[in-house]
Structure 1
Amino acid sequence: MTHKWFVFLLVLFCVAGGIMAQDDTTDDTQAQSTVEIFVVLCEDRAVVQFTGVMQPGYDIYYQIFSQPGGAGTELTSLRRVQVNGSYNFSETVTYSGGTIPGNTAGSMYTAIAVEGNPSNAVWSDYVSDLQDGCRDNTSAPAGDTSTPSSSSSTTTTTTSSISNGQFSDGTSAILSPFGGVVNPNYIPPEKPLVQLGAREEFILPRQETPGLVFAECEDYDVAEPGIIYDTDNVIVFWSWFARTQDQLLDHIENANYSVTYYQTLPLPNPITTGIRRERGLYWVFYYSVLGNLRPGQYYIEYKVTWDKPIFDGYDEYGPGTDYPELVSGCEFTVLPNLQGVPVSHNPWPYQYLNP
């Protein structure tokens, strides 16, 4: 068994690319403020965009950090974005406190707070992004940096069923640590109930997030890693969610993860993100950056146990429960790149297996 997926009420916005997050706050009179976040973290600057509707008396505040979850160095000061009514704000901000090295993740703290009082926040969250290079002309979708208008805004609300990591249209619902989902737009082929005659050969797809590997992919067809080349930056990730923040903290404090190569070598330098609010739940993500791996076959075993029983708002896990442990895994193959480009491969795990 794996950690289950459920049915959520989603507010849908059309945004292209980047990292997106969304939440809302409701005051005592049921007035609603919303913010949708687009952010691209480059080596020396960040491209940000905020869109939504803001009630009078509130503004947006944000700050960039060199590591996920607000950890590491403060790369910018806490910045205020004055908005009111329907707004669409974007800007590029240059870091003043350092840089984000390539193939590492930074984060942006965002809050809706009382005007002039950023400590009085009614909502806040962190969004992470992997710094994998930016073009000189990287920019947010067309936005308005002038004083926002107070015109009304319309959003579309729909209920989407999530089953086995897939939305009702068959596409991936498995959240990525870096925003969006893994393997967007991929719909796995249906498996026949009865196979007659020769079995059709399954052709590996080239995914839109090549190298991003979900550690439990063997339980989710939509998480198929697909074709991975030795020029792809391989990152293995996993996650956990709960209905409340306290439930998620209980998991974080008591979970014992064993995510290994063929049950022998732990993944190197795993990173834990800050707590995030996604789809009405609280999430934490874990990932290990493996980089450019040597061509070959890899199997990642995923296992989690707990020091004491925990509850995620739906089921109990840990000692004495129906689910004392969860076990899964993911197999993938790394191929030589088709261009024959020389690659400086990460020797992991072979330097430990063949010293």
Structure 2
Amino acid sequence: MPDDETTPTSEDTPTSEETPTAKETAAAEEIAAEERGGDSPAEFLAETAPETVAPPGAPLLSVRDVTLRFGGVVALDGVDFEVRTGEILALIGPNGAGKTTCFNVMTGVYKPTSGRVEFDGERLSGRKPHIITRMGIARTFQNIRLFPEMTAEENIMVGADAHHKTSVIGALLHLPRHGREERDGRRTAAELLEFVGLEGRGGELARNLPYGDQRRLEIARALATRPKLLCLDEPAAGFNPAEKERLQQLIRDIRDLGHTVLLIEHDMRLVMGVADRIVVLEFGQKIAEGPPAEIREDPRVIAAYLGVPEDAA
């Protein structure tokens, strides 16, 4: 299947002369801590959580009879589900079920052949990915998509830039708004680094961070866009059991801050432990939907994962 997403290269990143030193980054983190007046990172982030049109429990994102074809291949076939405000919804299924393809439709990478996707009262189908990000949907990827030659702090500031209003001319002239937004971006980066467990690592290049830290950094960058809906695509891939436990708590903390979470994950223990509801796909079709206890016992789900007929599951 085609993939319109591109991986950032070193040509997109600043030179080493433009990269702040670890000392400068540590100073920025100290300033951020002073500016928040004693609030914890969670308290600071909760204050900046986005507001949605949909009240808690109401549909925030609706996928309505979405079909996507690539030539003769039907990747999604009449998929229909809702993500409710304030919940953690898991989208699961065997390999090739269409989970990431569904994410790509929601985030503007693919345009559906038919059907529609609505988010917070507005239609998404046909909108560009950067517009969808500004509307309030952020995502991570199966394969980490950080800017490797940027520092951890700079990667998060790229996410914060999604809501900056300074023009190119304003940035070149260093107008007051540009200065304020730059300071706000550094403050947000410091808070998010602490929130995801990377306090003091802001000055390190992303490529030098351990794999698990890169995963958490990608989540922090997505949170910097102030999303109403955070889409996590297999965030536990490559994690050991202890890291999965910490990730599970992080996902809960993100939801508790006021963000809605849509999760693709193969680790069923993590899914069953964190999700409020689960949607199951197989061969591009929805075969089940409900709370974890119900999904665990569903014969169609058991058959899909074990590869046996439903009546034998």
TM-score, structure 1 normalization: 0.24
More helix by share: 2
Larger RCO (alpha carbons 8 Å, 6+ apart): 2
Structure of larger gyration radius: 1
Task: Please report the TM-score for the alignment, with normalisation by the length of structure 2.
Answer: 0.26
By percentage of residues, which structure has more strand?
Answer: 1
